[in-house]
Copies of this chain bind each other. A is one copy, B any other.
């Protein structure tokens, strides 16, 4: 038995959605789940107890950032990420691949690994599959991810095929290098926007028998319809009894559509990032609470929301805080946005149990896309 266990409790009869429980050394995660992103070992503006309060059961941290600062050795000596950031629930680390490839001109890819310059000070670094494993084992998350290449969008067939095949070879190297017994290692399906490459990638990774599978290289600028197509060709080739994680996706519509296509896990910086720019999710679409329209609006951000922000503070007050550069403003919008997505996942799980997910999707999106009354 591995470090994690995944149980599918129910598979919906009218969609590919399923209800599951993912057990890690740090607790049980009800799936489908949305994972807040804590890039630098902190979910921006949130404290650990506030994360518990909004219902987060697992957070993501970024290997690339933590490798550069404060360094994985320091984190390891602090008791790993859990001890360092005082978070006793589950953690997943990405592999650093996506972050490094996002550096563009500042990185160079070879079969051996990736040479890149730090975005902090320009210093030169090298990460290979083996080094990514070493870093992630030191960080000590419950779930680590293989070091992959995320092809850009658009990318031609030949580039995407070569990239996907290297990702498969790297997956083998990661498996060989990974030896931390209390940490699970997930594979990552690549293949860009080409159905046959997605299938080949999935089949090859499944042959390696990972305890879970990420689907990478989506939500990179392509139309959403194309992303859904790729899910539809990929998910059916993944084992039913393993969790499926759609990486970097987190808008409300994509969560609904992803779950309907059989996805169990999601992560995205969207809720925390837009919160810092003064935008919040509501049932009637996003609302830019910084706008003058809300200066005298004493309603909560989203009537009916059960979060600390909506239970205590008005749009007018939050607008005042944001305009005045007060930290509490960003704190309150962040709490709300995370709670909004996590609560949506709770509703999604409840609807799966009643075979009512298509109905929830339709009614949610109708109201969401209609905008404010």
Contacts and interface: CB of A to CB of B under 8 A. Distances in A.
B327 A331 contact: yes
A266 B162 CA distance: 69
A131 interface: no
B40 A320 contact: yes
A13 to B, nearest CB: 44
A317 B45 contact: no
Interface residues of A, number: 35
A252 to B, nearest CB: 25
B86 A312 contact: yes
B70 A316 contact: yes
A327 B44 contact: yes
B78 A317 contact: yes
Contacts of A298: 77-78
A295 interface: yes
Interface string A326-347: 1110110000000000000000
A326 to B, nearest CB: 5
In order of increasing CB-CB distance, the 10 nearest A-B pairs are A86-B312, A45-B327, A70-B320, A40-B324, A42-B328, A42-B326, A84-B317, A86-B313, A327-B327, A40-B326
A188 interface: no
Interface centre among A44, A49, A298, A327 (most CB of B within 10 A): A327
Interface centre among A42, A298, A328, A331 (most CB of B within 10 A): A328
Contacts of A47: 308, 328, 331
Given A40-B320, A327-B330, 17 more contacts: A40-B324, A40-B326, A41-B317, A41-B320, A42-B321, A42-B326, A45-B327, A47-B328, A69-B323, A70-B320, A77-B296, A78-B314, A78-B317, A84-B314, A84-B316, A84-B320, A327-B327
Interface in A40-74: 40-42, 44-49, 69-70, 74
A85 interface: yes
B74 A296 contact: yes
Nearest to A298: B78
B78 A46 contact: no
A313 B40 CA distance: 15
Interface centre among A44, A77, A324 (most CB of B within 10 A): A324
Interface in A289-313: 295-296, 298, 308, 312-313
